[in-house]
Amino acid sequence: MLDYIYDSKELFKRIKNRSSLDNPEVFATVMNVMRDIRADGDKALRKYTKQFDKCDIEDFLVSDIEIAKAYDDIDGSMLGIIKESGKNIREFHEKQKQDSWMWEKSSGMKLGQRITAIDKVGVYVPGGTAPLISSVLMNVVPAVVAGVKEIVMCTPPDINGKIDCKRIVAAVEAGVSKIFKAGGAQAIFAMAFGTQSVPKVDKITGPGNIYVANAKKLSYGYCGIDMIAGPSEILIIADANANPSFVAADLLSQAEHDVMAAPILITFNKEIADEVNIEIEKQLEKLPRKSIALESLLTYGSVYIARDKWDAISVVNEIAPEHCELLVADPDEYIEEITNAGAIFIGEYSPEPLGDYWAGPNHTLPTGSTAKFYSPLGVYDFYKRTSIIKCDRSALKKDYKKIAAFARAEKLDAHANAITIRFAEDEDE
């Protein structure tokens, strides 16, 4: 089931060859959608909703009546779960809040940084076969904690033009201002450029398929984005003490996401891998999404037989996985050395879905090795930082000739003049 790999370079090549942004046909389709949305707004949005979601939408905005019905329809226990999950997420993200500051560097010179929230944010939440209710909470709650004034959400309707009650209720509970029935690349561009119904936003966050990923990439510059999310991945380091059934279950938890998901096991002898493979075959038979998980396993499922702990750590840091689980007897010896990972789960009772739904840290994580330079979504993604510079005449006078010399070295005489003109009288003396 999982391919056995003994050469780390072979593993890197296999896992990293999953880019969803290099398909010219998809890119051409998304470009056409962008042009139409910019030109025709709601008219184009209706056209593409009809084409891709197979339904006619007259009013994209989810009404108060629809929201009230969603609360009537949702199971009471599920509502309680959504509320408690949202509370956990909020408590964690409250720790990420930042404050403005000022620093008196020297007499007459004050420097600082002002922290302000982005004014308007758009959140995209996929629907389809796996409506990601948790993604509503994970994207909206940090924006609310940051102090974003307006949060709009786009999510695809079903063929009847409806959105399921759980997505609506999660959005309201999290703090969404408006919910729109729109999906795919067309929804991303509606938020990036604005239509007659959907307001233009300053930043877009949220996961999506290959079309959504391309749309977010093309939208960057017209608005901000969180990251370009690719297919999911999980990397588990398991030693002889690991429970094979737990390892298999955790690998399958990501394999069922997407046929391009990469479930990776790193271990130290083939016997452990054999036991995990046996468990995978048993558990796979019980999964409703068996066909998706099976294709993921056959295409990207991998076991790397590491020489030792340091070999395993170096492979983790090179792959920079979205999720990394440490099912080893001595996790503390690994944790300090793993520098590239979206999230690290320590011990056999910290499975990846704990992070997806409940613990509190954000599950919107960098994929495709981007954990080398990206971080999980957080409150900081909804802040703007403004530098503050205040200098009086005496402080500037101490260094103005050096600043002017620097400007002239760059052949920018107007820059130099903007400094020296303030001391022209002094130089005439």
Which positions are annotated as active-site residues? 322-323
Distance CA 35, CA 166 (A): 33
Give the pair of three-digit tokens for residue 143. 């924006």
Give the pair of three-digit tokens for residue 9. 């370079």
Identity of the residue numbered 398 = K
Name the DSSP letter for residue 370: G
Residue 369, sorted as left (phi over 0), alpha (psi -120 to 50) or beta, turns out to be left
Q: Coil, helix or strand for 9?
A: helix
Q: Coil, helix or strand for 16?
A: helix
Tally of CB atoms within 10 A around 193: 18
Distance CA 147, CA 141 (A): 10
88 phi, psi to nearest 5 deg: -65, -40
Identity of the residue numbered 328 = V
Distance CA 410, CA 6 (A): 53
Give the pair of three-digit tokens for residue 153. 């959400």
Instruction: Judge residue 240's burial from the number of C-beta atoms within 10 Å of its C-beta, 0-12 exposed, 13-18 middle, 19 or more buried.
Output: exposed
Strand partners, 389: 111
Q: Specify the residue for token string 């793993």.
A: 338
Q: Specify the residue for token string 């964690």.
A: 92
Indicate the Cα dihedral angle 370, 374, 377, 379, nearest 10°: 180
Instruction: Judge residue 37's burial from the number of C-beta atoms within 10 Å of its C-beta, 0-12 exposed, 13-18 middle, 19 or more buried.
Output: buried
DSSP 27-49: HHHHHHHHHHHHHHTHHHHHHHH
Distance CA 136, CA 154 (A): 10
Q: Residue 215 belongs to what H/E stretch?
A: helix 210-219
Residues 6+ apart with CB under 8 A from 429: none
